[in-house]
Structure 1
Amino acid sequence: MTCIQQNKVLFYWLSFHRVVEITQKIMRMLSTLAAILFLNCALADGCQFPISDGKCLFVEFRSEKGFRYKQAERFCQSAGGAVGVIPDEGTYEAVVSFIKSVIPDELDMVQLWTGVEVDPLTGDVTEPENAFTHWNPLEGLATGASISKWTQVYLTVSRFEDDEGQGMSNYEPNARLDGVLCEIST
């Protein structure tokens, strides 16, 4: 193979990989756009994320002072609901995609209370039983006697796609987090 032929092969190979990379970026953008369009329709009905059994999820941020778990619980109750539980992987992906699009400008990531509770001594999910979890690969589920008060599960979402520190973790309910995921009946 001549040098010119080798360069053509290299050019075509690089061009193909660039097209794949651009296509992947476009697909991520379309996914985010679909979540936003879905959200706009849902908001018109008073809901951000309709889920099964006539329930709906929505997010509330309090970036300055944050929410302790009990405050988050009272906030959701005042809206006619409870602290939310993500029912499955598909809903988790949609909620995370939406949250990424509405993270306040002053923050690179947010931490939101969920309605999932764990027993930090055993690592078992205690409320609701068999709840869906997607543990943060860097923090995950913390267990042990020294952290016996870390009963509440929160969700960390970063605006950066490649941030590996996203997912659910547990912590003590007196901690102040950026917001809460609420669940209401529609």
Structure 2
Amino acid sequence: MCSSVKSYVVPLLPIMTLLLLRSVDCEQRICFEVPDSTLNDEVRVSVNYGKIDKIVSRHIDQVMREWRVEMRHRFEDRGKILKQQFKNATTAMKEKLEEVILFNKTKDCPVRTDKFSGELCEVRRDDACYWTYATYSHTLTYSAAVEICKKKNSTVAIIPDRSVYDDVRASLNKRIPKVRAGYVDAWLGIRVDPRSGQITYPDPDVFHSWGYNAPFKGEKSTQVFLFSSPGFYGMRNNAPTSYQSGVVCQI
């Protein structure tokens, strides 16, 4: 039997120790001897293993519940981040492919410019058509300009040479009476590094004709537009989130 000179209640002991000391002869209770510094004799300590087992089990269950909640939140947040990153990368890749295809489509698949109406071919070349759009006030960000071109299966224009540049500018000047400011500034598809003034898209050697004091070296001024008025004109750059009055599209 588990009789003892002095009885101690031990609320919690390491699990491995309890397993090693568990005794079937003590009816699921374990008994072991420990020295008592206050007594000359040895005392026997009686431990309620069943109670300890329940306490440990409840503690483990609580820890596991908290761990599962923490892991779920952590991986849910990480999953949302990865999903958004994948969506952004896919969108950027799609836009890049569309630009590359539209800009280079004349190489292997020339455009039949004769099939387009005058509305979509204000400036006509053998391999491309250019058309312009302008609003009464400055309300167009670059992303809005992209959508305007897309509605007519076009892309924001890359002007290839001086001849097209002069004709596009003349076409824009015809829209000036309908613009409140008395001039038109229309988005182009060219991008620039504002720190160096170097064109980054489609390539550094693409045709460009900077206006007075351009390109500007504002930190976010990465997108090029064409400023056109009867007396002053030229390409400038600004942040793509800024507002211009028009866009030049290419098909």
Name 1:73's counterpart in structure 2: 146
Consecutive unaligned residues in structure 2, runs of 5 or more? 1-115
Pairwise CA distance, 1:63: 2.1
* Superposition map of 1:15-94 within 5 A: 43-44=117-118, 46-52=120-126, 54-64=127-137, 66-94=139-167
- State the secondary structure of the residue aligned to 1:111: strand
Pairwise CA distance, 1:72: 0.4
Residue correspondences, number = 134
- State the secondary structure of the residue aligned to 1:99: helix
* Structure (1 or 2) with the greater strand fraction: 1
Name 2:216's counterpart in structure 1: 142
Change in CA separation of 1:176 and 1:56 when aligned onto 2, cut-off 3 Å: same
Pairwise CA distance, 1:102: 2.5
Name 1:117's counterpart in structure 2: 191
CA displacement, residues 17-67 of structure 1 (integer Å, 9 cap, x when unaligned): xxxxxxxxxxxxxxxxxxxxxxxxx74484111235x22110011223521
Q: Say if 1:63 and 1:179, in contact at 8 Å, map to a contact too.
A: no
TM-score w.r.t. the length of structure 2 is 0.50
Change in CA separation of 1:46 and 1:76 when aligned onto 2, cut-off 3 Å: closer
Pairwise CA distance, 1:79: 1.1
Paired with 1:64 and 1:76, the residues of 2 have a C-alpha distance of: 18
TM-score w.r.t. the length of structure 1 is 0.66
Name 1:155's counterpart in structure 2: 226
Paired with 2:155 and 2:219, the residues of 1 have a C-alpha distance of: 24
Larger Rg: 2
Paired with 2:130 and 2:174, the residues of 1 have a C-alpha distance of: 16
- State the secondary structure of the residue aligned to 1:98: helix
Name 2:168's counterpart in structure 1: 95
Consecutive unaligned residues in structure 1, runs of 5 or more? 1-41
2:201 equivalent to 1:127: yes
Task: Give the residue type in structure 2 aligned to 1:131.
Answer: V
Paired with 1:181 and 1:157, the residues of 2 have a C-alpha distance of: 12
Task: Give the residue type in structure 2 aligned to 1:152.
Answer: Q
Paired with 2:119 and 2:145, the residues of 1 have a C-alpha distance of: 23
